[in-house]
Chain A
Amino acid sequence: MSVGILALGAANSHSLVHALRRAGADAVMLEHPEELGAVGALVLPGVAHVGYLIQALDRGNWRAPVLAAIVSGLPTLGICAGFQLLCTRTEEAPALSGLGIFSGTVTKLSGEKVPHMGWSIAEATTSAFESGWAYFAHSYAPPAALRETLATTKCATAFASAAGTGKVMGVQFHPERSGAYGARLLRRFVRLARERAHAG
């Protein structure tokens, strides 16, 4: 079963590829929208300015096929800016639209020191999600009050550190760099993708 990582020019794809391999998946970089049909799951990576990411999404004609894939139930994981991309819009690039899977506007973090950089607890707001220590590196975040929030984290104020609906999930932290906690999340994601592949 292969997991496709959207190649939008974000950094850290290398860490993701290795982390997904450790989680038992075969990770491949997706360079063209037609390759979406060949993967059992999709990752929207994350180390980027979200405006750059949205523009790359539209420049590469990814928007419609990615939305269609998510709506059709392709297991999808958005990481950091990839999570923000799944929201309606963002203060970081107010003129651009996100994918709108999660209804909410990504806002700039308040607090003495921004970016929020380092290890914080993602606190589950539902028993369907696991709490744990996760690695964060971001200046913007989705609001805690998203309808689909699975976990929140407190910086100066609380934000959504994870959200999910159906088979799509977004996490504000970096599971590929969050030690054992992140590894468990990726393994669950890979398992979900594998179950769907077998069912389909």
Chain B
Amino acid sequence: MPAKRIVACLDVKNGRVIKGVRFEELRDAGDPASCALQYCREGIDELVMLDVSATLEGRLASLQTVERISSEIDIPLTVGGGVRGKDDAIAILDAGADKVALNTAAVDDPAVLQRLASRYGSQCVVLSIDARRTNEGYQVATHSATQTTLLDALQWARIGAALGAGEILLTAIDRDGTREGFDLALITDFSRGLNVPLIASGGARNADSFADALAAGADAALAASVFHGGLLSVAEVKQRCRERAIGVRP
């Protein structure tokens, strides 16, 4: 098995990194390329860039920002936001992304996962799922979590993986930016129910919270605000993981 990954997410809006709580209350957190390079130097294993307003504004993620980040870094970059179909995905990959994340577009037209995987391979296609906790369980939300569907989150993840998604990026909406810790029950369910790698997101608090998420079965744990805010260093997180016998890259 590969090392467990610590992933930093750059939520980008209008060419700037921003950070919000439960997808709202957005604040400026810096220049995307500088942030990316900084994380690289600190030993982050992977970067995700999400253009958070792209879908709502009916446009594709900023290709210029993707290019700027990609040309600076020597670790993998996943990009999502406003990807409507195959052509958008190609544009994002051409701009320098190593993987492309689909969320709303995949719910609208699941076959897009298949079309992308048959050209680029599954390892290039990430299904991003925003899971909202309801009385019915966890349901899939779309459009930057402004709309909730009737889809069961895990069921949808399994369908997505069967169609060609090579990785699931799972965000627990109710934990997003709250620093309450990852949703471990959700992570365990997903990890047991899936045969593709899982990136867990939402709720990162301290170094132990990352180790908790990875121990619960996530292959990677993602955070934004705790890293942007300088509350936590990548080295600290990895050190704690090693202390808890979780294999991470030095």
**A interface residues (Cβ-Cβ under 8 A, vs B):** 9-15, 18-19, 22, 47-50, 52, 81, 111-120, 133, 135-139, 155, 174, 176-180, 182-183
The distance in angstroms between the C-alpha atoms of A112 and B167, with both chains bound, is 13
Q: Which residues from A are CB-within-8-Å of B120?
A: 10-11, 47-49, 52
| 9 closest cross-chain pairs (CB), A and B | A118-B2, A11-B93, A14-B96, A137-B123, A115-B123, A119-B249, A120-B2, A18-B71, A117-B197
Which A residue's beta carbon lies closest to that of B76?
A: A177
CB pair B2 A117 closer than 8 Å: yes
Partner pick for B119 among A48, A114, A117, A180, CB 8 A cutoff = A48
Interface residue ranges of B40-62 to A (CB < 8 Å): 40, 45-46
Complex CA distance for A113 and B197, rounded to whole angstroms: 6
> Is B75 part of the binding interface, using a Cβ–Cβ cutoff of 8 Å?
yes
* Nearest A residue (CB) for B118: A49
22 A-B pairs with C-beta separation under 8 A: A14-B70, A14-B96, A47-B98, A47-B121, A47-B124, A49-B121, A52-B120, A112-B1, A112-B195, A117-B2, A117-B197, A118-B46, A119-B3, A119-B45, A137-B124, A138-B121, A138-B123, A139-B121, A139-B122, A177-B74, A177-B75, A183-B74
Chain A neighbourhood of B84, CB < 8 A: none
- B93/A47 in contact, CB under 8 A: yes
- Kindly provide the distance from the CB of A62 to the nearest chain B CB, expressed in whole angstroms: 18
Chain B 211-240 interface residues, beta-carbon cutoff 8 Å to A: 219-220
Contact with A along B68-110 (1 / 0, CB 8 A): 0011001111000000000000100111111100000000000
Do the beta carbons of B124 and A117 come within 8 Å of each other?
Answer: no
Q: A11-B94, A11-B98, A120-B2 are in contact. Are A179 and B75 (CB under 8 A)?
A: yes
Is B96 a contact of A12 with CB atoms below 8 Å?
yes
Taking Cβ atoms with an 8 Å cutoff, the residues of B that contact A are: 1-5, 40, 45-46, 67, 70-71, 74-77, 90, 93-99, 117-124, 166-167, 194-197, 219-220, 249-250
Closest CB in chain B relative to A22 CB, distance in Å: 8
Measured CA separation A74–B95 after assembly (Å): 29
Q: Are B196 and A115 in contact (CB under 8 A)?
A: yes
Separation of A135 and B97 alpha carbons in the complex (Å): 15
Partner of B74, one of A117, A133, A176: A176
Report the bound CA distance from A114 to B67 in whole Å.
28
User: Which A residues lie within 8 Å of B77 (CB)?
Assistant: 15
CB distance from A103 to the nearest CB of B (A): 23
The answer on a CB contact under 8 Å between A139 and B123 is yes
B180 CB, min distance to chain A CBs, angstroms: 26
Contacts of A52 in B (CB 8 A): 118-120
Q: How far is the CB of B73 from chain A (nearest CB, A)?
A: 8
CB pair A133 B96 closer than 8 Å: no
Q: Which of A13, A81, A179 has the most CB of B within 10 A?
A: A179
Q: Which B residue sits closest to A137, measured CB to CB? A: B123
A115 to B99, CA, bound (A): 13
A38 to B40, CA, bound (A): 35
Residues of B within 8 A of A12 (CB): 93, 96-98
Contact A14:B71 (CB < 8 A) given known A118-B3, A174-B76: yes
Residues of chain B within 8 A (CB-CB) of A133 are 3, 249-250
Given A139-B166, A177-B75: A113 touches B220 (CB 8 Å cut-off): no
Interchain CB contact under 8 A, B71 and A115: no
User: Complex Cα distance A155/B197, Å?
Assistant: 13
What CA separation (Å) do A177 and B167 show in the bound complex?
18
Q: Which residue of B lies closest to A13 (CB)?
A: B94
Taken together as a complex, chains A and B put the C-alpha atoms of A14 and B67 apart, in Å, by 8
With A47-B121, A49-B119, A139-B123 as contacts: A117 and B93 at CB distance below 8 Å? no
- Tell me the minimal C-beta distance from B7 to chain A in angstroms: 10
Does the CB pair A15–B121 fall under 8 Å? no
